[in-house]
Amino acid sequence: MMIDYTVDETNSVLYVRPTSPLRRDDFEALSQAVDPFIERTGGLNGLLLEVAHFPGWTNVAAAIRHFQFVRDHHRKIKKAAIVTDSPLGEAAEHIASHFVAATIKHFPAGHLDEAKTWVSSN
């Protein structure tokens, strides 16, 4: 598994931390973990993505599955927090807001608790 993840059912938040280049199977496993919760509850309060730098994908199939995962889930997530010092974090906050329904906010590395509080709040 190239993605560490946890579904915090109490706060309705999916925590994701990529650890190396992403594989197609990573998104299959992520869907299997989060989809039953979404079906029971109707959605997630938030997604918290903690990443030092974007690791990329192992191949084109993995990138396609990543985009499919975003397409299939973005309307079911209210907020997305990106915790990183990578320039990608700032760009993602602005660019992704045009393509996804969630409110997106960038937090600097080391501000995980602040991001958790924001993404868990209503």
- The tens digit of pLDDT for each residue in 13-62 reads 999 999 999 999 999 999 999 999 999 999 999 999 998 888 889 999 99
The model's pLDDT over 67-103, given as tens digits with 9 standing for 90+, comes to: 899 888 888 999 999 998 877 666 666 666 656 778 8
User: CB within 8 A of 58, min separation 6: which ones?
Assistant: 2, 21, 22, 23, 24
pTM for this predicted structure: 0.87
Strand partners, 37: none
Which domains does the chain show, CATH number per domain? 3-120 (3.30.750)
| Bridge partners, residue 107, by sequence | 83
